[in-house]
Structure 1
């Protein structure tokens, strides 16, 4: 869902992006640590920061 949010960001639909980010965080609520080679805690932190500041940016996993 985070990737879907970033697609909307690329389409200059920031409000939709933030909305999707919020739903993504709900789904990731019980997830933490590493998933394969993805640092779930880092992704959650980045998304939370973007929601709070409304400053959206792409990032590398």
Structure 2
């Protein structure tokens, strides 16, 4: 997902409109490992850290 060689990206989840991917980011150079959620905009490649600790992200739409 990103060029960070010290990170593991998991639980990729496409947005229903296909514009974003939500995923877990595990920093492998930090112990103990922790997971944060990030989102990447497909068109621009812009990555945002959601500042939320968690794993296995899912999209919720009404």
For the criterion TM > 0.5, the same-fold answer is no
User: Could you say which structure has the higher strand fraction?
Assistant: 2
Query: Shorter-normalised TM-score: what interval?
Result: under 0.3
Query: Which TM-score applies when normalising by structure 2?
Result: 0.23
Query: Which TM-score applies when normalising by structure 1?
Result: 0.24
User: Could you say which structure has the higher helix fraction?
Assistant: 1
Max radius of gyration: which structure? 2
